[in-house]
Amino acid sequence: MGWNNFDMTDRADAIGIKTATWSEDARIMGLVGSAHLVSHFFHLILAPLFPWLRAEFGFSYAQLGFLMTVFFVVSGGFQAVSGFIVDRYGAVRTLIAGLLSLSVSAAVLASSDDYSMLLIGAALAGLGNAVFHPVDFWLINHRISVPRLGPAYSAHGLSGSLGWAFAPVFLVGIATPFGWRTAVLAAAALPLIVIALLAFNRTALKLGNGGDPAMSGDSQGKSTFRFLRDPSTWWCFAFFLFISAALGGVQNFAPTIFMNAYGMAVTVAALSITIYMLSSALGMIAGGWLVMRGRSLERNITIALSLSAVGAVLVGLQIFSGVYIFALMVLMGFGSGLSGPSRDMLIRSVTPVGATGRVYGVVYSGLDVGLAVGPFVFGKMLDYGFYVEVFYGIAFCFCFSVATAWRVVLNAR
């Protein structure tokens, strides 16, 4: 079922989506975005505090990095499982459980006195993080009116980027005067605030609603795993694996590369990540407009990620310097963000009715796999002295993501 021949109105009727007012849709977008912001905040619950942890416990960087590996491995593994839970028991209940797990994880991390406690806290955070993408996209696809899906996908992606940007400022800002334990304990309050917002808006979210309205007890057992036999599911998984591997390379190593290959000062090089993420956020906003006007989703993704790949290759060639390097980071980030809404709509277009949570759970687990594997591979390249070559690897990831998007469409047709 290809996008170009896909009637979104018919699909909306099939899965019971209502036509809501703008204010009703905006409320759902705000609630989902708030939860997604907290999810991405907890991606960085420890990384900005590594200097404090290293000073107190004397951990190696490998040990500290393994904490994040545990987070993403647990998150990726349980994300696929949580998709089934969402379809069976409901999105909001699952979301509340995930938020509670994040809050508990922060409390465990703040009280840790050895490495094993930090590992447990990281695992609990990964477990809580696992529910967000299946829940978020279930709510968006079932509670947002079809004409506003593009802006909804943009708002969702934008909220995640804001969570990444907010975490270092929040954590370091509190840890500097009060210590890292106080900073992490303060973060435990954020998921509880979102839970309070969900309770206050329970009518809009229909808290009593069960799973996917198209699911039934008679048909569920027969079709529960059928989507796993669809190649489109695994091409979507591959898309997320490679796009997130590219992101992991930028987030973890761009400053190191610019310091060693371009001779930048550490404070200047660190700006590269901020510039990339802000540009990505702008790209997501533009992508919401593009997805509702450009009906060929695979073409949108190709144009967007080609911009990112060109920017990465030009960084690797070292033919520019100074402010032009940051212009290339803007190009990379904008292209990556621009592809987001089209990517999410593409997945929606090949998702079987009644399998929203499961499909998004499996597909988005590729995001965690990429974030776990990408930094390891690119880190090995740095260990062997291949600095600018990392950006060639990032460009390859962008190009391969384009290829997988076309495979999704061709398979669907």
Residue closest to 128 by CA, chosen among 162, 163, 79, 169 = 79
Pair 276, 258: CB distance under 8 Å? no
C-alpha 374/C-alpha 401 separation (Å) is 14
What single letter denotes the amino acid at residue 125?
A: A
Give me the tens of pLDDT residue by residue for the chain, a chain 413 residues long: 334 433 444 444 444 444 568 888 889 999 999 999 999 999 889 888 888 988 899 888 778 878 888 898 899 888 878 888 888 888 888 999 999 999 999 999 999 999 999 999 999 999 999 999 889 988 988 888 888 888 888 888 889 888 887 888 899 899 999 999 999 999 999 999 999 999 988 777 764 444 444 443 334 444 667 777 788 888 989 998 999 999 888 877 888 888 889 988 877 887 888 889 889 989 988 988 888 776 688 899 999 999 999 999 999 999 988 889 999 999 999 999 999 888 888 888 777 777 777 888 888 888 888 887 887 788 888 888 888 999 999 999 999 999 999 998 887 66
C-alpha 137/C-alpha 71 separation (Å) is 21
CA dihedral 340, 343, 345, 346 (to 10 degrees): 170
Pair 185, 107: CB distance under 8 Å? yes
Residue 106: per-residue pLDDT? 97
C-alpha 110/C-alpha 67 separation (Å) is 14
Q: Which residue has the tokens 């100074």?
A: 322
Q: What is the 3-state secondary structure (H, E, C) of the chain?
A: CCHHHCCHHHHHHHCCCCCCCHHHHHHHHHHHHHHHHHHHHHHCCCHHHHHHHHHHHCCCHHHHHHHHHHHHHHHHHHHHHHHHHHHHHCHHHHHHHHHHHHHHHHHHHHCCCCHHHHHHHHHHHHHHHCCHHHHHHHHHHHHCCHHHHHHHHHHHHHHHHHHHHHHHHHHHHHHHHHCHHHHHHHHCHHHHHHHHHHHHCHHHHCCCCCCCCCCCHHHHHHHCCHHHHCHHHHHHHHHHHHHHHHHHHHHHHHHHHHHHHHCCCHHHHHHHHHHHHHHHHHHHHHHHHHHHHCCCHHHHHHHHHHHHHHHHHHHHHCCCCCHHHHHHHHHHHHHHHHHHHHHHHHHHHCCCCCCHHHHHHHHHHHHHHHHHHHHHHHHHHHHCCCCCHHHHHHHHHHHHHHHHHHHHHHHHC
Distance from chain centroid for Cα 99 = 16
Residue 88: per-residue pLDDT? 81
